[in-house]
Each structure stands twice: as C-alpha cells, then as structure tokens.
A and B are shown apart, each in its own frame.
Chain A
C-alpha cells in the first residue's frame, strides 16, 4: 500500500472540489483508504490518518469508525500520537458511547506521567468530556495534581476539578483540603482558576459557602488580592489595555458577590474595596467597563450601604450615555433588575432611558420599553405617556402588542383624569389598533361603562373614529358596542366636553350596517354590530329599519350571526313585551377584587388591578376556570390560559343573553358556540348566594371524605348544603402535608361533568406547611340541578423540594347525601 497522503495534501485537494458531490467523492475515497490502512494495523501512519479523519469529521462527515484508533493513539508513547489521539477523543467520543470507558486507564497512566505536557493533555481531556464514571475513578489523581507545585498543572487540575464537581457533586468534599493553599499562589493563572473552583463550590453547596465564610476567612484574602491588583504597577504579562488582569478582577468580584449575598459581615468587609474599584477603574475602554459592570452587579446583590448603591446606579447611568451600544444594553438590563429595589435612584435617569427608546437596536429598544413601564408613576405619567405613545407609533410590529398592553396598564393605574384616560385609549386604538390584544376589548368596555359622565364624549369620539377607518378590529368592536349602548346620547347631541356633532339615527344605522357588510370585519365584529343594532331598537325610534336588518341576517351563512339574528327576530315577534327590559342599559360592571362571580370580563385574569392584594386570587380563578375546560375535555376552544380567546369578544356581545339568565329563546339552537357559558357563572348561582353567609348550619349529617392521599399530600372534603337552593353543595377542601418539606405554589383545580356547575373560591394560602403543621382550605360550590351523582376530576400542582409536581385524580366516592 502506498503511504497515505499527508494532511495538508488532503485539505488542499478537498478545497479544490468545486461542488458538494465532488467533495463527497474525494472524501469517500479517502475514507476507504484510511479504513484499509487501519485494518493493516499500521503504526507509523496512524497518526496522520486520524488527523485526516478529524478534518473530515469537522466538515460534517461521519467518522466514528476512527474511535478505536484514537484509543490506540492515546496508548502510544509518542507525544504527537497522544496529542492527536486525545483531540480525536474529545471530538469523536462522548459519554454515550461505552468506548470512552476504555480511555480511563490510559488517562490514569498519563496523569502520572513524567512529562507535564502529557499530564496536561490528560487533564484537558478529562476536563472537557469526562463522564461521571471516569470522574469518580480519576478524582483522586486530579486532587493529587491540585497540590503539586507545578503551576502549569495546577491550573489545569483546578479547572478539571470544576468539571468533576459539575458531573459528580458528591465529590466536592474531596477537593476541600486542597483548596486551602490555593489562594496564596502568586501565579495569576493559578489564582484565576482557583477562584473559579471556589466559585463553583460555593454556588453548588450552601454548606461550603458558610464554611468558606467563617473558617477560611476567604473574604479578607480576596480583598487583599484585589487590592494588590489595583495598586500594583504595570505588569506586562497580564495587562489588557492598561488594566492589570481584568479577568481575575472580574472573577474575584463574582466570588465576592456570592460570599456577600445576605451576609452582613462579609458585605461590610467588602464595602471599601468595592468603592475603590468603582471609582478608580478607567472607563474609556471596554475592559474597564467590564470590571465596573461586575462591580455594580456585586454591589446590588450584597447588603451594601445605600451610598454605595447610589454610586452603582450612577455608574449605570453613565453607561447609558456611552456610545457603545453593548454597554448601553448591559446597563439597561441591570437597571431593570434593580428598579424594584432602588426605584428613586433609577428615576433620576429616566430621561436617558426614554431616549434609548429611539435607538436602532431591537434589544435595546425592548429593554428601554420595559424599563420605562417600570418607571411610570403618578408624577411623570403625562410626559412618559407622550413618549410611549410616540414610540408606539413608530416601533416594530413585534413590540406593538406589548407596548399597547403596557400603556393600558399604566394608564389605568395612574390616569390623572378620566378624560385623559379615554383619550389615551383612543389614541392607542387608532394607532396600534390591530395589535391590541383581544382580551383588552372587554376590559376597555368595562372601563368605559365605569366612567359614567364621559359616556357621551366617548361615544362621540368613537363614532368619529369609526367614520374614518373601519379596519382596526378592536377599535371597531369597542366603538360598535358603545354606539349600541349610548346611541341615544349620540343622537341627542349632549356632549359637554367637546363640540357636539349632529348625527341622525339613520346615519348611525348606516355606519353599523356598513360594518356588517364590509369585507374588513371579522365575524366577531359583525356579531358586535348586529347586537348593537338590536340594542338601538329600544333607544331609537326607527324600529322598522332595524327589524328589516335583523330579519335579513336570519338567513346568513355565518352560524353565529344567524343565531343572533333569529333570536332577535324572536324578540320582536313573540317577546316584544320583554324587549325594553332586555335591552336596557348595561349596569356598571365592577372589577371585583375577590373571586367575584359577577365578573364575566375578568375571565382572563389580566394583572390589571395588580395593586390589589387579591391578585393571586384573580389569576387563580381565571386559570382554574380555563383549566377546567381542559379537564372537562371535548370543547372547541383551544389552549386557553391567559392568551386571547378568539371567541371571547363574541361572548361580550352575547353576554346580554347570558347575563339575563336562562331565558329559553325559542327558535335558537342550543347555547352559543362559546363554552364561556360554563365560565361566566350564570346568575342563578349568584342569586342564591351573593349575600349568603358561606357556611350554613345545615347538613351536619354529611360525613367528610378523603378525596386524595398520595405522596404525603392529603385532601379532605367536608360538605354543607346551602339553605335557599338545595341544588347547591358547598364543599370545603382541606389540604395537609405529612412529609418533612413544604409544598409551595399549591394550586387546586377541579372539573365536573357538563350537567354540573362549579365555582371555586380563593384558597386560604398556597403553601402547605410540612408535617401537618397547618393546612390550606378552599371552598367549592357545586350546582347540581339534575340531582345526578357527583363526580369530580381534580388536578393538583405544587412545588416540592424545588421540583414541580403535577397530579390528576378522579374523585368518585362522594357520599350520597352530598348530592341527593
């Protein structure tokens, strides 16, 4: 066999290939040659062959037949062989193949080799791809090398130890004695790697952390080293742009951060040095900024004094003015983290942050937007809102949804006047209308009903906006709803705030009919406008026109529209006496803070009233309600949690029908496609219980039952019957925990078959303390009009010892007295 070609030749040849196919051909030929050479057990050229194989592997071709050859190379005595062999091992082998275990012995021998370079190679390979078995076997060797005086090896051994600890955390104690002397080294490289090792140990185990804090007096040592670094003069070896060994500085700062977190003594010891670093470091180059950034992060995390914190925030503020966008980005990210705790200090830099909204880079803009929303408060709301609205106009579509929701939130919290609030909403709807989230439409409607004195003004402005442009669906929906409600105000020209416009009834009806026929309107919007037209039949006098429109749509192709039209038609014909009562003005919807059954709009549980302490309970019932649908299964609304439900706005219009109870409107098919009927707790549940004391004195005889008992979590149900309505059972669940760890973020959800109705009230807390020290109670109300046997499916989610746990269970063993 002729000698295989050299590596260079191969690379050159492959590079001359002009097409993929040519290249592949060359490679296959070469692979065949290499394979036959391997079979011949040719020692002299093995190294070259494996090198070529590695090159081909880097290009993406399969090269696994070379694995055993790598092992043979490692076992050989020549250095070049070993080097290529280890390289091949790192590239081709990984934990999942058993072949790598064969390497363990070789590495062990090499770790004890006389040449430090060979030892270094072995450490390197172990550090990069050692599996847990290998690490366990070889940890002793690594630890021995950690103590040698050879600094070259010590560095590698330290990082190898880091890898070992990551793979096999139990071995951490083994390295503990070796770390004692690490920090007294002069060699920067060793210092650096030892700091990394110590960081890794402290991050992994809190015990280590306390050990290092108390016994080793680590903090003073580190402070001393850092001081030397800053004070000492020019050291050419580790100098980067005039700062001595910035990498080491950064690492030490990071370790200090971990040591100082929540520990007063350590934090005090660090205060001076942090202040020194913060003031002395040069900021003209990126390096200096890197150190300053790490310092700021450290100051924020430890228990530093307030002067220091202000210094840190000022540094961040200075970063914001820097030309380099990297630094601005980094500053914005950190400010976002600190704005919760140091709100006032960050406020000072508000104008710079707002300027960042105009930056070209997408990530900077996003950060600036989030930060701006966090900084909005009662004082600066007007100014900030102006800037934010301007931003909304000009930003990319991906931001618009978030920005719009943010604006709504902020406006709601801090609106100086109702009129300003409505103006802002109008502005958002007209500029970013199509990006507004669907669930904000019901929220807006609720807002408008609340501001009673502004009704006329609102409806007038909305009408004008509608005349201009009917393409933005949320705007159109809100507008048509308002016109339906307050059309009479519009026509009578009663507006106080603005110049009233003269509108006739026919014009209004024209606009609404236009919506119905327009191609731009979605089915949802059409539903809104049809309902609005219907409502106007009581407010306007031209009833005939409305009757005609409604009867036309009785045969529309769209099922939703058809159903509405038919029902409305029925209203005209058979139930005309009821019509005025049905189509009356809507009552003011309250945004209930607790789990209010009245709130249909609340179903998506947006964090609007985030100030209210019942926030968790708002999100919970909504989530539970949404999840209920999932549990019940077989519904036609997709994943529902916290995202826009396409049918929700439809229900806002159809709410009219729902709210008013179970009038069986003849001619209409079974209730609307929106299963929201089950969510929007119908009023008959309400009627029975709204002013009721929760626990009635009856039903003493129903025995409690254990619904669920697994993994230490026990859930018991106790029953009561409510007096006025014998169809309602009130179940109280008690959740207790017999294990020795708390269960946090405990959420209980339940679903019942379709013939029942369920209502979950907010739980007493969401932590089940360990060892039966306490329990969580939650009240469930079940309506059982058909007196069927009660069955329930429950879903439990909680966090136990840091891991999330989820469980589903069926509860079928309800005592007969509870549902008969």
Chain B
C-alpha cells in the first residue's frame, strides 16, 4: 500500500463484498499511516491485529488473528520482500505496478489459505523461474 492510499496489491483470504473491501482498505490505511517510527509494528484493528512494516514508500500489512505470533509474521513480511527483491533484481515500486500478476504469483507461492506456505527463499525462486519459463 502506497503512502497516499494507492493499493498496489491486495490479497483476501476471507469473503467480503467489494465495498466492504474498499472500506477495510481505507480503515487500515488510516490506522497505519499515522503511526511513525516510534510506534510498534502491531496495531489492534477490530478483532484482529495488523502487522505492518514500511519499506521506502510502501507499507506491507498483514492482518491476522489476535492469537498469532506477531514477531513471526513480521519475519514473514521480511522474507516476502527479500524474495521480491531477488526475483525482480532490486525491486522498486514500478516493478510491482507493471508486473502485478507476477507479484500475485509470488504471493501465492509463499502464502496459501491465509497461512505461510513456503519459507525457503531459494525454493520459491526456483519455482518462480520455472513458471516463468512456461510463458
């Protein structure tokens, strides 16, 4: 999510209507962007938690249950960003914009049904390269 509320990518693992989705995005944005560096990376939101991290101009947010381990998902975010970095060779925001369907593939490789699926960066990268060769 960009600082000025441009959603670059959104992946939903629960059913919502379109306008519900839009409202949720706006709420999350409102909550997350007002927090600066001296706040923790976890926010309570409705009956979930949001775990987020800011990389340059983008916020990566994950919404989880209150019982999940915050720190582990923080690591998950970082893992994901590192994979993106490797795949696009020093990724920048424009890469994510122009290749959004590829980014979705990366998401699907690493997360499924709302849980972390694959944690080994090398494995994920290998899969992605194979998928790319099929195109």
Residues in B with CB closer than 8 Å to A702 are none
Q: Are B39 and A361 in contact (CB under 8 A)?
A: yes
Interface size range of chain B in the complex:
35 or more
Contacts of A327-377 to chain B: CB distance below 8 A: 327-330, 360-364
Q: How far is the CA of A163 from the CA of B123 in the complex (A)?
A: 23
A87 with B119: CB separation less than 8 A = no
Bound CA–CA A374/B26 (angstroms): 36
- Taken together as a complex, chains A and B put the C-alpha atoms of A94 and B117 apart, in Å, by 22
Q: Is A278's CB within 8 Å of the partner chain B?
A: no
A240 to B77 alpha-carbon distance, docked (Å) = 13
**Cross-chain contact B113 with A117 (CB below 8 angstroms):** no
By the criterion of a CB under 8 Å from any partner CB, how many residues of chain A are at the interface? 63
Q: Which of A121-166 contact B (CB under 8 A)?
A: 124, 127-129, 152, 155-156, 159-160, 162-163, 166
Q: Quick one: which of A55, A156, A328 contacts B112, CB cutoff 8 A?
A: A156
Query: What per-residue 1/0 map shows which CB atoms of A616-658 lie under 8 Å from chain B?
Result: 0000000000000000000000000000000000000000000
What residues of B have a CB within 8 angstroms of the CB of A189 in the complex? Answer: 117-120, 123
Contact B101 A290 (CB under 8 A): no
In the bound complex, do residue A51 and residue B101 qualify as a contact, i.e. CB atoms below 8 Å apart?
A: yes
Task: Select one of A290, A326, A362 contacting B42, CB under 8 A.
Answer: A326
Cβ-defined contact, A124 with B38, below 8 A? no
Of the listed residues B71, B121, B135, the one surrounded by the most CB atoms of chain A closer than 10 A to its CB is B71
In the assembled complex, A84 has its CB within 8 A of some CB on chain B:
yes
Report which of B7, B40, B112 forms a contact with A128, defined as CB distance below 8 A.
B112
A9 smallest CB distance to B (angstroms): 11
A192, B40: Cβ atoms under 8 Å?
no
Of the residues B8, B113, B131, contact of A162 by C-beta under 8 Å = B113
- Chain B residue contacts of A111, Cβ below 8 A: none
Cβ 8 A contact of B39, one of A155, A196, A240, A363: A363
Given the interface pairs A124-B112, A128-B113, the reply to whether A247 lies near B122 with Cβ below 8 Å is no
**Contact digits for A149-192, partner B, Cβ 8 Å, 1 yes 0 no:** 00010011001101100100000000000000000000011001
Contact B101–A287 (Cβ < 8 Å): no
Instruction: List which A458-508 residues lie within 8 A (CB) of chain B.
Output: none
**B98 and A8 within 8 A (CB):** yes
Tell me if A83 and B101 are in contact (CB < 8 A).
yes
Whether A80 touches B119, Cβ cut-off 8 Å, given contacts A96-B15, A294-B69, is no
Q: A95-B15, A128-B112 are in contact. Are A159 and B117 (CB under 8 A)?
A: yes
B118 touches A254 (CB 8 A): no
Residues A294 and B127 in contact, CB atoms below 8 Å apart:
no
Task: Tell me if B120 and A238 are in contact (CB < 8 A).
Answer: yes
Residues of B with C-beta under 8 A to A782:
none
- Do A326 and B100 contact each other (CB < 8 Å), given the known contacts A189-B119, A189-B123, A246-B75? no
Distance, CA A155 to CA B124, complexed state (A): 12
B127 touching A152, Cβ below 8 Å: yes
Residue picked from B10, B22, B104, most chain A C-beta under 10 Å: B104
**Is the C-beta of A289 less than 8 angstroms from some C-beta in chain B?**
yes
Question: A237 at the A/B interface (Cβ < 8 Å)?
Answer: yes
The residue in chain A whose Cβ has the minimal distance to the Cβ of B131 is A117
Over the window 73-102 of chain A, the binary record of Cβ atoms lying under 8 Å from chain B Cβ atoms (1 yes, 0 no) is 000000110011001001000111000000
A456 within 8 A of B: no
**Which A residues are CB-close (under 8 A) to B123?**
189, 237
CA distance A737 to B131 in the complex (A): 62
Please tell me if the beta carbons of A290 and B75 are within 8 angstroms of each other in the complex: yes
Residues in A whose Cβ lies below 8 Å from that of B55 = none
Q: A237-B122, A250-B69 are in contact. List 12 more A-B contacts (CB 8 A).
A: A58-B100, A84-B101, A117-B134, A124-B112, A128-B13, A159-B115, A159-B117, A189-B123, A192-B118, A290-B69, A290-B72, A293-B70
10 intermolecular pairs with C-beta atoms under 8 Å apart: A55-B100, A58-B8, A80-B135, A94-B15, A96-B15, A128-B108, A188-B119, A192-B119, A293-B71, A325-B38
> Closest 9 interchain pairs by CB?
A290-B71, A163-B113, A159-B112, A127-B113, A237-B120, A329-B40, A247-B119, A159-B113, A290-B72
